[in-house]
Amino acid sequence: MKLLPILRLFLALPALLAAPVLAANASRNAPPNILLIFSDDHALQAVGAYGSRINKTPSIDRLAADGTLFRNCYVGNSICGPSRATLLTGLYSHKNGFLRNGNVFDGSQPTLPKYLRDAGYQTALIGKWHLVSDPTGFDHWNILIGQGPYYNPPMIENGQRKEHVGYTTERITDLTLDWLENRRDASKPFFLMYQHKAPHRDWQPGPGYFDLYEETEIPAPETLFDDYWGRGLPARTQDMTIAHSLTAQDLKLSQPDNLTPEQLAAWNAAYEPRNAAFRKANLKGEALVRWKFQRYVKDYLRCIAAMDDQIGRVLDYLDRSGLTENTIVVYSSDQGYFLGEHGWFDKRWIYRESVQTPLIIRWPGVTRPGSVNTDMVSLLDLPETFLDAAKQPIPPHMQGRSLRPLLEGKTPPDWRTSWYYHYYEYPGAHGVRRHYGVVTPTHTLVHFYEPDVDTWELYDHATDPHQTRSVAADPAYAEERRRLESEIRRLRAELEVPDEDPPQSQPAFRRPPGT
């Protein structure tokens, strides 16, 4: 009789040994959670994993060390709202109806969160939205109002306005962690869009970051004093130069108007002595531009440092909770950004610093740690990738492709080798003219098509990597220009770009009062 318990244990042993394996297989076979970390205006050249010379981003780099870094990720319309609309729909601006900031996103159209929710996912959006209409397709949403301030942000939670005190980057993370820990349904996979305001203009650093880089000289780009004479009229008539377009608020020569007394005291302690020294120096000419560059870029990098630390909090939670092994984590931004290249800040152009954005994907069991991909990819591809991960059909109307084969190290033979770009917001902020064009690994051809400025520019990436000298009129490039013009026609036909810009591209389609 004493042998009976031992016999039972012996008979049960195979099942006991198999249990961890079965649990691991069940985890691998379960639909993966999807966490999209999205920032605003994060320049690729300010990410450590991309070889930044000016800052470090250890939390973002942590994703790159464990996943795949894409070196050639492009946006179709380099501006905040349109880029976010593309991310939701898998469609170019002319297809989803959001062509310029101030348009109102049509939430009745099919979107990624709706597809995933129908597939059994719990969906949530926390942070910047910037699409005017209320979010749809989300079980939970908590968004900034418009662009939102850097401090003490009012937010709209599932239709109800709530006031918050603190630094916005930290508050968005607090709310994200609260949802992950306390509000989500653990029986369902989740799709969570964790979206930062940072590092958008006017680059207000958070508490504890005021002194970061203060004793560091940030290296200026070679083209800080570009005179634009190698380009056409559009570059010479913009309003986005560090020399002339930055405001006193951008440069922290004036105080923010929404700080608590404690926040204002910390702000003044950091900036007033520096500003007094600046006024005493009475800088002019090139020296003044260099001072503005340092002030702008340091504040920009301080915002990134705070954001990177908060991203680290979320990644640490995934590790502690055991979610890491079945969660796809993506880091990206709505577009690139100029950090003094060509003397500029902001984005909008087809030029490299604007049209390219960071994209890093960690997908356990799929991505090879530390891998790098150089194929031409886009934010347009993310909805299809997420649906593929969820084992859902990709709607045929979407205009991107799943990145899964690239993440597995297999580039399909028919993968794209050119990228179509289209910017509509003129007249508009910074005076950047409407243009469309094509980018290939070797060249960029762009057509500016306003009635008063109808001109073409062509850049050779090998001989002119900074894109300072157009060769559109050079006879030696005539054949290349003809080939790229033909490629633009092909892409416009394939993407069904209308001959006339849609009415939403006009300034009359502005944000309704009170939104």
Q: Which DSSP category does 29 fall into?
A: H
Burial of 347 (0-12, 13-18, 19+ CB in 10 A): buried
Total-model pTM: 0.93
User: Residue 12 pLDDT more than 60?
Assistant: no
498 belongs to a structural domain = no
pLDDT(82) > 90: yes
Asked whether residue 478 is domain-assigned, the answer is no
End-to-end CA distance of the chain: 79
- Which pLDDT value is given to residue 90? 98
Alpha-carbon distance of 71 to 375, in angstroms, equals 8
Query: pLDDT for 134-144, tens place per residue?
Result: 999 999 999 99
Domain-embedded: residue 508: no
Total domains in the chain come to: 1
Residue 187: predicted pLDDT? 97
Is residue 372 domain-resident?
yes
Q: Taking 90 as the threshold, does the pLDDT of residue 31 lie above it? A: yes
Other CB atoms within 10 Å distance of the CB of residue 107? 15
HEC per residue, 68-108: EEECCEECCCCCHHHHHHHHHHCCCHHHHCCCCCCCCCCCC
User: pLDDT: is 143 or 512 the higher one?
Assistant: 143
Which residue from 354, 363, 356, 353 is spatially nearest to 406, judged by alpha carbons? 363
Strand partners, 372: 69
**What is the span of the domain harbouring residue 140?**
31-404
200 token code pair: 């958008």
Whole-number pLDDT of residue 21: 38
Is 489 inside a domain boundary? Answer: no
Q: Is 447 a member of any domain?
A: no
Residue 510: is its pLDDT beyond 60?
Answer: no
Distance of alpha carbon 147 from alpha carbon 201, whole angstroms: 10
Q: Do residues 93 and 509 lie in contact, with contact meaning Cβ atoms separated by under 8 Å?
A: no
Instruction: Say how far apart CA 49 and CA 63 lie, in whole Å.
Output: 9
Closest CA to 335 of 108, 115, 130, 56: 130
In a domain, 110, yes or no: yes
Compute the CA torsion angle 337, 342, 345, 347 (nearest 10 deg): -40
Is 19 domain-assigned? no
Q: What is the pLDDT of residue 28?
A: 57
What is the mean predicted confidence (pLDDT) over 38-49? Answer: 98
CA 395-31-400 angle, to 5 degrees, is 30
Give the CATH number of the domain where residue 276 resides.
3.40.720.10
